[in-house]
A and B are shown apart, each in its own frame.
Chain A
Amino acid sequence: MKNEPATQQIKHYYEQKKLSPSKLQQLMDISQQQDEKETSLNSKDNRWFFKNKLSIAASIFFAFIIGTQMFFYLPTENNEALAERITKEIILNHQKQFNIEFQGDNINELRTHMQKLDFNLIQSSRITELGLKIIGTRYCSIQGEIAAQIKLKDNEGNSYTLYETALKENLEKLTEIEKTVNGLAVTTWSEHGVFFGLVGSKTN
């Protein structure tokens, strides 16, 4: 490597850097699943399309009529739609299984690391009741607002993700959400000016 031009030195340095095998596998798996899903949908779509041209035309016509009617009756934004978006966002973030940035086993410790939040991290009474143990945290966002994503585990080793963000005006209007989507239970609530969202395989 002696007397190697600068460009070669940098190239050599970066080319040695590789994605960890587990992360690489995870990302490869995701793309494979996506491709399989698309292939399956495309083949079904093609067959169905050719057999049902007339039905498609009729469906489009009725969808247009119904859509036009609904446009005049639906409010532009309602709590249900917001709750739906938050639920989806929380589940998606949980499924991404991001690495934690800061380790810690209690809220006080996490608070010292998460100085950039615009609210104070607090220990929710519900988390205490559920007996979930804190593993660590990282920054994230909920509906564009800065939030903390806290990793938790129960006694059986099941993973949970808790989100905490400031209870802003739009979130204040929300009633508590309790939903199960694809086997994942999502619960949201608020305490002392903080909005919480908990997702995991079971929350009761």
Chain B
Amino acid sequence: MSSGTSAEDIEILLQSGYRYALSLTHNSTRAEDILQDAWYSVLHADGPRNKPYIFRAIRSRFINQYKRDLLIPLVPLDDINEEDYSTHDTPFHHQAYNDEYLEQALSTLRTAEREALFLTAVEGYTAQEVAELTDQPRGTILSMLHRSRVKIKKYYQTIDTDTAP
């Protein structure tokens, strides 16, 4: 591969792009389609083959594709500071962890919440970096992260209640 990017780097980039698209769509087929479309555009435009560029391409395609019927819902900005946010990084579930439950829990989140959670938890972005990528205020991102964690915890609590003897 030319453009200073090895085949291995391209594979890592595509896998990251797929996961990001998955966090937006929560659907593997749609995630593959959006990634493919974004990848075509990156190659066609001879753009840089890096995460920020491909993530932006994926995000813009996701929004274009669904803008007719699905606006990314953003919750009102709440006064939540870093401390509130960081203290919530405790396990979602004190019982046996199950990917299937987490998948269902993630499906209860709004697209923008899932996206923010993915970018911070998986990609290691700071709230400021997520804010820059998504063109949202940092406070909104912190609010979304807080709400998404609360929602997931609530989901697990429901499971606990339902499965209690």
Contact = CB atoms under 8 A, between A and B. Distances in A.
B158 interface: no
B96 to A, nearest CB: 7
Interface stretch (A2-10, A65-73, A127-135, A195-203): A2-10
Given A7-B89, A10-B102, A24-B11, A32 B1 contact: yes
Interface string B1-26: 11100010011001100110011000
B91 A3 contact: yes
Contacts of A15: 19, 122
Interface string B92-125: 1111110100110010000000000110111000
A58 interface: no
B135 interface: no
| Residue with the greatest number of chain B CB neighbours at <10 A, chosen from A1, A4, A26, A39 | A1
A98 interface: yes
Contacts of B152: 6
A144 to B, nearest CB: 10
Contacts of B97: 1-2, 4, 9
B63 to A, nearest CB: 14
A13 interface: yes
Contacts of B92: 6, 9
Nearest to A138: B33
Contacts of A39: 2
A13 B93 CA distance: 14
Interface stretch (B34-42, B75-83, B126-134): B34-42
A17 B19 CA distance: 7
Main secondary structure of the interface of B (DSSP, over half): helix
Contacts of A53: none
A5 B68 contact: no
A161 B105 CA distance: 37
Given A9-B102, A19-B18, A30-B39, A14 B91 contact: no
Contacts of A24: 11, 14-15
A15 B22 CA distance: 11
A34 B43 contact: yes
A98 B36 contact: yes
A3 B94 contact: yes
B161 interface: no
B90 interface: yes
B59 interface: no
Pairs A-B, 10 closest by C-beta atoms: A1-B97, A10-B121, A19-B18, A35-B2, A7-B121, A14-B122, A34-B43, A14-B19, A13-B102, A99-B29
Interface of B: 1-3, 7, 10-11, 14-15, 18-19, 22-23, 28-29, 32-33, 35-37, 39-40, 43, 46, 49, 65, 68-69, 88-97, 99, 102-103, 106, 117-118, 120-122, 149, 152
Interface of A: 1-11, 13-20, 23-24, 26-28, 30-32, 34-35, 38-39, 96, 98-99, 101, 116, 139, 146
